Chains A and B, each alone.
Chain A
Amino acid sequence: DQQVKQNSPSLSVQEGRISILNCDYTNSMFDYFLWYKKYPAEGPTFLISISSIKDKNEDGRFTVFLNKSAKHLSLHIVPSQPGDSAVYFCAASGTDSWGKLQFGAGTQVVVTP
């Protein structure tokens, strides 16, 4: 049973616009959330993270929002660029499972000119 869910397998967005990727989780013990980006034929690379004590974290064009009551987080990319075209994975870990990282199924983002 997947504890981290990304319900949108794909997202198409125009260059310069905002990309919003969503992620839901079921385990209330999760307290650390991460986003990874993956290009074809490469391993995932860390993008941004957020601890459960915060509700927002920004890094350049990337912002992650966390809504603990809804068990929902989102990644905003503003503005979207062609190089952002990749698969994005949401991941979570918790104090009850230190060392275990749960991933969502991923969202394929395509940024069009």
Chain B
Amino acid sequence: EAQVTQNPRYLITVTGKKLTVTCSQNMNHEYMSWYRQDPGLGLRQIYYSMNVEVTDKGDVPEGYKVSRKEKRNFPLILESPSPNQTSLYFCASGPYRGYTEAFFGQGTRLTVV
């Protein structure tokens, strides 16, 4: 089954404690991206990657890091989480050429206290 898998689905952490949210896709997609969803703001892009070792900032990259060492994985790293990073996070992947739509994971609900 074609899917984008995020882990964990839910996470409560404390301010400053480094965390990683994993994202994996099994569709051999070149494009992957991270979004956060906040009430009234829709989805805002954090980082995206057009291929292995190629990443770029989205609209809200501050406080986040990503890496793309393998095609299937695109982890999101919060080196020092703060309460304003409490949000619902989605990973997405899509084909590079003729980019049409993105396939989204089920989301990670992160709470930073």
A contacts, CB < 8 Å to B:
2, 4, 6, 9, 32, 34, 36, 41-46, 49, 89, 91, 93, 98-106
Known contacts A34-B101, A100-B48, A43 near B42 by CB under 8 Å:
no
B contacts, CB < 8 Å to A:
4, 31, 33, 35, 40-45, 48, 50, 56, 58-59, 90, 92, 99-107
Majority SS of interface residues in chain B? strand
From the candidates A4, A9, A49, name the one contacting B100 in the complex (CB within 8 A). Answer: A49
Min CB–CB distance B40 → chain A (angstroms)? 6
CA distance A91 to B58 in the complex (A): 14
Q: Are A99 and B90 in contact (CB under 8 A)?
A: no
Chain B residues whose C-beta falls within 8 Å of the C-beta of A105 in the assembled complex: 40-42
